[in-house]
């Protein structure tokens, strides 16, 4: 698996700077929180989606991603078990996410 949870933080930090590796860093549950925060603002909705689906992503970051312009990113937030209840309740009104 390219998102091996045993990958050391310093390696993930190096991979963060390689554009083609960013999605794998974003989905890695061992990714340091500062990297996940940075990746949550990535231009690629694919990278943001990986952050949104990562169970190590902090709830505050998931709350921000719950308002992402991309419905797929919002869908990943809705499916993340770490997403706070109040965010899920707000998202329940998001018909685009519900229909996906």
For residue 8, the model assigns a pLDDT of 93
Q: Taking 50 as the threshold, does the pLDDT of residue 86 lie above it?
A: yes
The residue length of the chain stands at: 100
Rounded CA gap, 4 and 39, in Å? 18
3-class DSSP assignment, residue 38: helix
| φ, ψ of residue 29 in degrees (nearest 5) | -65, -15
86 to 1, 41, 47: CA distances (angstroms): 33, 22, 24
pTM, entire model: 0.89
Q: For the residues 28-40, what does the mean pLDDT come to?
A: 96
Q: For the residues 62-67, what does the mean pLDDT come to?
A: 97
């Amino acid at each position: 698996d390219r998102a091996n949870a045993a990958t050391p933080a310093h390696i993930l930090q190096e991979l963060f700077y390689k554009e083609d590796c960013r999605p794998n860093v974003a989905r890695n549950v061992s990714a340091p929180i500062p990297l996940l925060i940075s990746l949550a603002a990535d231009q690629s909705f694919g990278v943001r989606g990986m952050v949104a689906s990562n169970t190590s992503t902090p709830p505050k970051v998931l709350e921000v991603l719950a308002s992402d312009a991309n419905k797929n990113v919002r869908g990943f937030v809705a499916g993340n078990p770490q997403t706070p209840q109040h965010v899920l309740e707000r998202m329940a009104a998001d018909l685009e996410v519900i229909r996906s």
